[in-house]
């Protein structure tokens, strides 16, 4: 009791604060999202995501080499495909010489030890901008899961270490796991987007990949029938546990900052690593406010990332990964 116990003694200097700090960040905490496009020499800015870029394969090679030198050893790949290659069934996603498959090989050839995770969902390949097949105003669940399984096998055969289904179809983890097992791809991991909420924070990401749902008749105008209601907490535990039971090696909560209660709930319940995706809208808000001079960019980034890890994240997928490393000097 006070005055025998004075908590401020452990805050008296930077040295003692560092000594007793409960949560610290290292490069090993980060999964770096990368956007890939066709072409050569392409480093294309994204207006709603300042200082983030779509990269052609030659620049992807340079980027992963730079990341590795910075101590960042894991990437999450996304592709932006030409509209002419899109259809309702995501056929291009299964092309063994497709952009994703070539991107995987590019990363592995440039930096063999880099851990490669790949986005598994139909929206970048869908003419409707949805994560699944559309029929009569509905998103077909089981038919979509079968395509996602084929997609996962294709990524694994190209060299992906983990596939990361971000679609939120029921049962897709089991379908994917069984497909990988049937092909002898027993060491390919699955990072499941287990608690992915229907969030307003995804806008800049959809700009980056041109993957927003289209506004036409008989097509759902949002993703609320498969992504989770952001008002729900217990549902996240149920979804996550089901994914683990179906074979997920890592589970994810998305978005990050507004869902730290969910991160802690899940961390308390499960025995697999928990990833958190600090999404594009979170990134864009900090960049915009810092550009206006309203926030200290580096201080806010560090505080947010620390909060995510403190809440229970073992892995943080973040567009700020390189920014954070640079603050280490």
- How does pLDDT run across 101-128, given as a tens digit for each residue? 999 999 999 999 999 999 999 999 999 9
The position carrying tokens 């990332």 is 305
Residue 190's pLDDT is 98
> Please, what is the angle between helix 141-158 and helix 172-182, to 10°?
40
Mean pLDDT of the chain: 96
Catalytic status, residue 65: no
Residue 249's pLDDT is 98
pLDDT at 322 over 90: yes
- Please tell me which residue in 86, 89, 196, 223 is annotated as part of the active site: 196
Q: What is the mean pLDDT of residues 29-47?
A: 97
pLDDT at 221 over 90: no
| Size of the chain, expressed as the number of residues it contains | 329
Strand partners, 30: 316
Residue 218's pLDDT is 79
Token pair listed for 247: 């074979």
Residue 213's pLDDT is 85
Closest CA to 81 of 108, 63, 102: 102
Interval 1-23: pLDDT, tens: 999 999 999 999 999 999 999 99
Closest CA to 301 of 279, 268, 323: 323
- 29 Cα distance to chain centroid: 13
Residue 290's pLDDT is 97
Determine the Cα–Cα distance for residues 256 and 312; give it in Å rounded to an integer. 11
Contact (Cβ atoms closer than 8 angstroms) between residue 133 and residue 143: yes
Residue 2's pLDDT is 93
Q: What is the mean pLDDT of residues 81-99?
A: 96
Determine the Cα–Cα distance for residues 12 and 19; give it in Å rounded to an integer. 11
pLDDT at 216 over 80: no
pLDDT at 198 over 90: yes
Strand partners, 318: 278
Interval 133-178: pLDDT, tens: 999 999 999 999 999 999 999 999 999 999 999 999 999 999 999 9
**Model-level pTM?**
0.96
> Please, what is the angle between helix 99-110 and helix 57-69, to 10°?
40
Confidence category of residue 214, pLDDT binned at 50, 70, 90: confident
**Extents of the domains making up the chain:** 23-252
- Please tell me which residue in 86, 89, 223, 254 is annotated as part of the active site: 254
pLDDT at 211 over 80: no
Catalytic status, residue 322: no
Residue 32's pLDDT is 98
| Total Cβ atoms within 10 A of residue 238 | 12
Kindly give, in sequence order, each residue whose CB lies less than 8 Å from that of residue 77, ignoring residues fewer than 6 positions away.
34, 36, 100, 103, 104, 107, 116, 117, 118, 119
Determine the Cα–Cα distance for residues 189 and 209; give it in Å rounded to an integer. 25
The position carrying tokens 């699955």 is 190
pLDDT at 225 over 90: yes
Cβ-count burial of 92 within 10 angstroms (0-12 exposed, 13-18 middle, 19+ buried)? buried
Determine the Cα–Cα distance for residues 126 and 140; give it in Å rounded to an integer. 13
Q: Note the CATH architecture for domain 23-252.
A: Alpha-Beta Barrel (3.20)
Contact (Cβ atoms closer than 8 angstroms) between residue 136 and residue 173: no
């Amino acid at each position: 009791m006070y005055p025998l116990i004075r908590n401020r003694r452990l805050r008296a200097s930077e040295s003692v604060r560092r000594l007793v700090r409960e949560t610290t960040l290292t490069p090993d905490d980060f999964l770096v999202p990368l956007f890939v496009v066709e072409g050569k020499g392409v480093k294309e800015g994204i207006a709603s995501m300042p200082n983030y870029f779509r990269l052609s394969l030659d620049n992807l090679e340079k980027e992963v080499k730079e990341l590795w030198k910075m101590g960042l050893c894991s990437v999450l790949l996304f592709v932006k495909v030409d509209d002419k290659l899109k259809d309702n069934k995501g056929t291009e996603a299964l092309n063994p010489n497709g952009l994703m498959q070539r991107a995987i090989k590019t990363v592995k050839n440039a930096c063999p030890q880099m851990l490669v995770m790949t986005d598994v969902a139909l929206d970048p390949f869908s003419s409707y901008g949805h994560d699944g097949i559309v029929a009569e105003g509905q998103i077909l669940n089981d038919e979509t899961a079968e395509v996602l399984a084929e997609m996962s096998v294709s990524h694994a055969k190209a060299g992906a270490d983990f596939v990361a289904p971000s679609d939120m179809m029921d049962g897709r983890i089991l379908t994917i796991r069984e497909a990988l097992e049937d092909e002898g791809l027993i060491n390919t991991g699955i990072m499941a987007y287990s608690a992915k909420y229907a969030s307003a924070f995804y806008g800049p990401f959809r700009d980056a990949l041109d993957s927003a749902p289209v506004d036409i008749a008989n097509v759902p105008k949002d993703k609320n029938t498969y992504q989770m209601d952001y008002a729900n907490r217990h549902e996240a535990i149920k979804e996550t546990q089901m994914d683990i039971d179906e074979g997920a090696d890592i589970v994810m909560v998305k978005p990050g900052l507004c869902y730290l209660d969910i991160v802690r709930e899940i961390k308390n319940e499960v025995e697999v690593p928990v990833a958190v995706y600090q999404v594009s809208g979170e990134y864009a808000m900090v960049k915009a406010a810092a550009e206006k001079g309203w926030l200290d960019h580096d201080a806010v980034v560090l505080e947010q990332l620390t909060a995510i890890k403190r809440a229970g994240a073992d892995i943080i997928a973040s567009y700020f990964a390189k920014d954070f490393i640079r603050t280490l000097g």
